[in-house]
């Protein structure tokens, strides 16, 4: 057998090979579009994307919040210093924290410090009045430094509303004209302005 005869025999063999009509129909049916299952696959591709986006947003929010807390400290300190430098009359003339508490009966919190009693024992309470600090009820006490005789301001406010972000964050802030110490004491914000 020569090469041409071999090629013809192989070609004829493959041309005579056929699939049965049954097999052709089964193959065609498998190739037809399968009906879509009730929405179970399209969202599966987006779950990792949504999870990554949520993580990025949470991280960004936390970073932005810590930056805002720092600015908020300066805003609160500035508001306190501004009121310290203003000339407001004190409604209650007093000589102690207890007298100030008695004179400011509508306060929802105590003005008596627990944490820094030694620091505040260096100051004599002279007067007290109601005020607001970032929209929260506050007490504005005028105190006198026993050593220097300088008049200072002590602010006390409940750590609610926007002030709640200042919890557990004691700070000393130096502004242009004043030095402000801010600390937490039993869920209250204390601020002393020299």
Q: Which of 10-24, 25-39, 124-138 has the highest mean pLDDT?
A: 124-138
**pLDDT of 53 over the 70 cut:** yes
Higher pLDDT, 18 or 132: 132
Closest to 94 in 3D by CA, of 84, 102, 86: 102
Q: What share of the chain is helix, strand, coil (3-state, %, to 5)?
A: 45, 25, 30
Q: What is the mean pLDDT of the segment spanning 153-179?
A: 73
Q: Calculate the average pLDDT of the chain.
A: 77
pLDDT over threshold 50, residue 134: yes
The secondary element (H helix, E strand) that includes residue 188 is strand 188-193
Q: What confidence tier does 43 reach under pLDDT thresholds 50, 70, 90?
A: low
78 versus 120: the higher-pLDDT residue is 120
DSSP letter, residue 117: H
pLDDT on residue 61 = 67
The predicted-structure confidence for 74-116, as pLDDT tens digits, reads as follows 677 667 766 666 667 788 888 888 888 899 988 888 888 887 7
Q: What is the pTM of this model?
A: 0.58
Residues of the chain with pLDDT > 90, as a percent, come to 1
Q: What is the pLDDT of residue 170?
A: 67
39: left (phi over 0), alpha (psi -120 to 50) or beta: left
Least confident of 125-129, 166-170, 187-191: 166-170
Task: Check residue 67 and give its pLDDT.
Answer: 44
């Amino acid at each position: 057998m020569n090469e041409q005869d071999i090629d013809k025999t192989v070609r004829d063999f493959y041309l005579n090979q056929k699939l049965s009509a049954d097999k052709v129909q089964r193959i065609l049916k498998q190739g037809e579009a399968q009906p879509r299952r009730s929405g179970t696959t399209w969202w599966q591709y987006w779950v990792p994307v949504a999870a990554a986006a949520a993580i990025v947003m949470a991280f960004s929010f936390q970073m932005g919040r810590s930056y805002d807390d720092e600015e908020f400290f300066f805003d609160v300190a500035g508001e306190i210093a501004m009121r310290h430098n203003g000339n407001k009359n004190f409604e209650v003339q007093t000589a102690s924290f207890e007298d100030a508490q008695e004179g400011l009966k509508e306060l929802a919190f105590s003005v008596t410090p627990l944490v820094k009693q030694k620091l505040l024992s260096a100051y004599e309470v002279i007067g007290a009045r109601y005020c607001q600090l970032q929209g929260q009820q506050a007490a504005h006490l005028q105190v006198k430094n026993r050593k220097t005789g300088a008049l200072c301001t002590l602010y006390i406010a409940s750590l609610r509303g926007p002030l709640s972000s200042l919890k557990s964050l004691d700070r000393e802030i130096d502004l242009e004209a004043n030095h402000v110490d801010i600390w937490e004491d039993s869920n209250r914000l204390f601020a002393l302005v020299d």
